[in-house]
Amino acid sequence: MLRKYAALLLILFFCYNASAQPGQITVAAFGANNQLIINASTGLYSVKYGTKTIITDASASYTIGNQKYGTANYTKRVLRQQRLNDKLGSGQLVTLTSVKAGIPVMVQRFFCYREKDYIVTELELQGQQLKSNYMAPLVASKANVNGSNLQTLFVPFDNDTFIRYKSNELSDQANISAEVGVIYDRQSRKGLVLGSLTHDSWKSGVKSAGKDNIITQLEVWGGLNEVAVTRDSMPHGSLEGDHIKSPKVFIGYFKDWRTGLENYAKAAKSLTPSYIKSWAKATPVGWNSWGVLGSKLNYGNATGVVDFFDKQIPAFKNEDGTAYIDLDSYWDNMVKGGFNGDFSKLKDFVSYCKQRNLQPGIYWAPFVDWGFQSKNKERIAEGGNYKFADMWTKTSKGYHDIDGARALDPTHPGTKGRVAYLLGKFKDCGFTMIKIDFLGHAAAESTKFYDPSIHTGMQAYKVGMETVSDALGNTMLIYAAISPSMATAPYTHMRRIACDAFKSIKDTEYTLNSLSYGWWQTYLYDYVDADHLVFEKESVRANRARLISGLILGPVILGDDYSKDAEWQKEIKDWLQKPLIKQLIKSGKAFTPVDDGEAGEASKSFIRKDASGTYLAVFNYKKQGAIVALNTTKLGLQTGRRYQLTELLGGKSESGSGDIKISFTEEGAYIYKVN
């Protein structure tokens, strides 16, 4: 092994040694008066914004087998600087190469952009037959946000099991966030945003801890494995090869942590553009059957909903003059003989929709086996001759089971054949939308994938999602339900921002917890969504809040059984057909939280500014009355000017000057256009 590294070490050392001498301090500028400072003698780097050092003496770390190495293990280092021009902009690329006999060459790259107030870094290992499941481009024991009330944000890996975003006070108990993390000051909004920008090989983590508003532990790495977060029951898979790379990592300090997260999302989108064609049509609106009909779905009640849309809410259409009627799970109630049977009734449903200028949608979970507990171990998967048992994802503990389903290996030809078969059936029926669910099963780590070139769950996920996308061939609106937050973006147009939500104020608050800390996903996807909006058996005020929770995310997807008339539908029909609501839906972009939430709750207020005006939504999640006070400066409104708030659903409008106060007598919400 020493000989393998020795030759490479000598070549690299002499190539790079002409560029810089060990001991040299290199300063690379980025953004508005910011600096990356690298000490080639120690291999440590710091990040400075203006006159303040935000991250001090950071290093890199990795494992090979059971051994952990890092910056301190190396004795020789060389620096090289060169011009940079990539998808994120132009500037300077700084490369720090560290060498030592007997261990891999460690290459750290720092991408410093003239027009960006953030840097991007990655770690590469060079050698022969390397294997690693942990690579950390950033490890630091000192960082500072320059605030007095620091919070550290937990971001979930996916939206399964009713998981929530959490914002907690910075403490010596480490917070581990998935893919992206934020440490911010509640008063000033200053914040440090760190996260992985590439998601085709690694599940990434951001760890933070501190004391007395000083960060004492900071780490960003590829190889996250937390069963409650990534769902895996075994270690993260290992990347293999002579050259292996960490994820690209975003490092930015911002005057407003919300701006930082939006910049992070835009950077991720730039580096990993859509695999499918972006949605060029109008913001989707419509209905999904799961909310109330569920397993009772049949042709009669489905066409009854179509009639409701056609006759009773004809003005509830998007800018294309249509709405989507989506059949969720149990659409096979209309298919005789199972998935290999007669799909003619589904074709009838498609025709019924299209004759009324409505678009038909369908549902499927392509990477799960719901019948894995069957005593018939010889079950053959549709679309081929492979047994389901041969397609199951293998783990160190047997198989990957979650949500009552068993994961299928996305790289297995049986899984691929089944995807091609079922999606081909849906295309043949004429569906124009598909909701795909339980996608996280495709990202499970495995002891061995069918494809020997695949070694990690995220590599398998990429294979699976490309298989689905290729089979659909840009023929449908693609909507993701339960799925990884970041890695799904290149393959779908819409994504549900949280787990299942139905009708109560509790469901509204749960959905808006995800909007409060995950609104920035509106820059990853064409649309993020609040799930089906259900209203039956709730108060008018609770229903207002649930509808508004959908309106401020973008698309509006209803969920009740509209094949039956009900008294509560009166308000819904009125609200949905207001011209101002259609105008609001047009942009399809999510609102931004005005502030974070109190005590783990969702934010109480959200705002959006676009070409049609400024919109403000205000919520009260409590049964008792409340007054929500809003500072005009924090809202981004001009101070000292008089304002008028026009309530879009026909509630009480407000006017005045100075700070805004919205009163509630009980649970509920209002949505205003601000003049």
Provide the pLDDT confidence category of residue 16 given band limits of 50, 70 and 90.
very low
Which spans in 226-337 are helix H? Answer: 227-230, 257-271, 299-307
* Among the listed residues 92, 101, 81, the one whose alpha carbon sits nearest the alpha carbon of residue 12: 101
Q: Please check the confidence at residue 636 and state whether its pLDDT lies above 90.
A: no
Helix (H, G, I), strand (E, B) or coil at 591: coil
Q: What is the CA radius of gyration of the chain?
A: 26
Q: What is the pLDDT of residue 19?
A: 43
* Among the listed residues 267, 363, 359, 361, the one whose alpha carbon sits nearest the alpha carbon of residue 318: 359
Report the C-alpha gap between 174 and 81 in whole angstroms. Answer: 35
In this prediction, residues 354-371 reach a mean pLDDT of 98
pLDDT digits (tens, 9 = 90+) for 79-121: 999 999 999 999 999 999 999 999 999 999 999 999 999 999 9
CB distance 608 to 554 below 8 Å: no
User: Which tokens go with 222?
Assistant: 């590829």
Q: What is the pLDDT of residue 92?
A: 97
pTM for this prediction? 0.95
CATH of domain 2-271: 2.70.98.60
Half-sphere exposure of 617 (CA within 13 A, CB side): 31
For the ranges 177-181, 339-343, 653-657, which has the lowest average pLDDT? Answer: 653-657
CB distance 407 to 457 below 8 Å: no
CA distances from 260 to 47, 204, 308 (A): 16, 18, 43
* Among the listed residues 112, 173, 110, 181, the one whose alpha carbon sits nearest the alpha carbon of residue 145: 181
Provide the pLDDT confidence category of residue 600 given band limits of 50, 70 and 90.
confident
pLDDT digits (tens, 9 = 90+) for 263-292: 999 999 999 999 999 999 999 999 999 999
CB distance 517 to 633 below 8 Å: no
Q: What is the pLDDT of residue 182?
A: 98
Q: Please check the confidence at residue 7 and state whether its pLDDT lies above 90.
A: no
Q: What is the pLDDT of residue 6?
A: 41
pLDDT digits (tens, 9 = 90+) for 332-355: 999 999 999 999 999 999 999 999
* Average pLDDT in the chain: 94
Q: What is the pLDDT of residue 22?
A: 45
Provide the pLDDT confidence category of residue 20 given band limits of 50, 70 and 90.
very low
Q: What is the pLDDT of residue 386?
A: 98
Report the C-alpha gap between 67 and 196 in whole angstroms. Answer: 24
Residues making up the chain, counted from first to last: 675
Q: What is the pLDDT of residue 637?
A: 85
pLDDT digits (tens, 9 = 90+) for 127-160: 999 999 999 999 999 999 999 999 999 999 999 9
CB distance 617 to 644 below 8 Å: no
Q: Please check the confidence at residue 55 and state whether its pLDDT lies above 70.
A: yes
pLDDT digits (tens, 9 = 90+) for 422-478: 999 999 999 999 999 999 999 999 999 999 999 999 999 999 999 999 999 999 999
* Among the listed residues 28, 31, 36, the one whose alpha carbon sits nearest the alpha carbon of residue 56: 36
Neighbours of 40 (CB within 10 A): 21
Q: What is the pLDDT of residue 598?
A: 82
Provide the pLDDT confidence category of residue 656 given band limits of 50, 70 and 90.
confident
Residue ranges per structural domain of the chain: 2-271, 285-367+414-592
CB distance 184 to 145 below 8 Å: yes
Helix (H, G, I), strand (E, B) or coil at 580: helix
CB distance 182 to 153 below 8 Å: yes
Provide the pLDDT confidence category of residue 9 given band limits of 50, 70 and 90.
very low
Provide the pLDDT confidence category of residue 3 given band limits of 50, 70 and 90.
very low
Q: 371 — alpha (psi -120 to 50), left (phi > 0) or beta?
A: alpha
CB distance 377 to 366 below 8 Å: no
Which homologous superfamily is 285-367+414-592 in? Aldolase class I (3.20.20.70)
Provide the pLDDT confidence category of residue 638 given band limits of 50, 70 and 90.
confident
Q: What percent of the chain has pLDDT above 70? A: 97
pLDDT digits (tens, 9 = 90+) for 372-381: 999 998 999 9
